[in-house]
Structure 1
Amino acid sequence: MSTMTDGHVPGRHGPTATTEADPRAVGRVRTEYSPARDGDPDPGEIVWTWVPYEENDGRGKDRPVLVVAREAAGTFLAVQLSSKAHDGDREWVAIGSGPWDRSGRDSWVAVDRVLRLHEQGMRREACALDQGRFNLVRHRLHERYGWT
């Protein structure tokens, strides 16, 4: 996994940049829960990467994302986290707090935007989300996109 040395921000530029994926055009997606504390991204883990703003104007920020699936090409599908409250919004799933947020704030996962990540584009592995909370997110993604 990359680090932010010499001004390089993993996932921001080049062939390993984090991009938005069309969740209905990614082909067959099998979400799985398979975290492994090995420094590599795995479905079920929260990792940090550069996430472009939805405007796709070159701006964005380093933020936590939940890896939800591994693609055959070696890339990963993920959804972004936010500490901004989204109670009652079906586009967001509440997952509570965890070690990914040093301030201990509650977090929400956006299910209306799917990101494609590359292992070299991830800055660090934060933690594994427990399977119960992962399943809440997985269920909402299945409802929305028909994934298995």
Structure 2
Amino acid sequence: MSIVRDLGRTLSYSPNLDGEADPGEVVWTWVAYEDDPSQGKDRPVLVVGRRGSTVYGLMLSSQSERAGQRHWYSLGPGAWDREERPSFVRLDRVLELAEDSIRREGAVLGRPQFDRVAGVLRAQYDWS
């Protein structure tokens, strides 16, 4: 896994629960900590794009202190969290994941929610 810095950031929505991670799906994978990349944790990631077997995603958090924080957007609860806690997606850290590093599909983010996230990414982060 690496952090994408200079990606042609194009969004698409095409979930297809076929075992592959597709844009619009929330999947589970190991994500390294920013301050210590040798450590990390298994967490949900919103897939926003893919190129071949490379998946581009944004990590999710259920930590309530994310509410109102810069670079975090509220998604609300979803099927990816067993406890149905509200989740937040981090908008400023794009993860580049190998398809085979993804542990499982968690859920599909609804089109209206995905479109709201996409709108913020286009308006504030120069995505297309």
TM-score range, shorter chain: over 0.9
Equivalent in the alignment of 2:2: 19
Letter in 1 for 2:58: V
Alignment of 1:86-125 (within 5 A): 86-125=66-105
Judge conservation of contact 2:92–2:125 (CA < 8 Å) in 1.
no
> Equivalents in 2 of 1:79, 1:137: separation in Å?
10
DSSP-derived class of the 1:111 partner: strand
Equivalent in the alignment of 2:38: 58
TM-score normalised by length of structure 1: 0.81
Percent sequence identity is 44
> Equivalents in 2 of 1:30, 1:57: separation in Å?
26
Q: CA deviation at 1:115?
A: 0.3
Q: Which segments of 5 or more consecutive residues in structure 2 lack a partner in the other structure? A: none
Q: Does 1:78 align with 2:61?
A: no
Judge conservation of contact 2:45–2:60 (CA < 8 Å) in 1.
yes
Judge conservation of contact 1:48–1:123 (CA < 8 Å) in 2.
yes
> Equivalents in 1 of 2:37, 2:50: separation in Å?
27
Q: Does 1:147 align with 2:95?
A: no
Q: CA deviation at 1:39?
A: 1.1
Letter in 2 for 1:74: S
Letter in 2 for 1:114: V
| 1:20-40 Cα distance to aligned partner (Å, 9 max, x none) | 111xx11x2321110001111
Judge conservation of contact 1:93–1:136 (CA < 8 Å) in 2.
no
TM-score normalised by length of structure 2: 0.92
Q: Aligned-pair RMSD on alpha carbons?
A: 1.3
Q: Which has the higher strand share?
A: 2
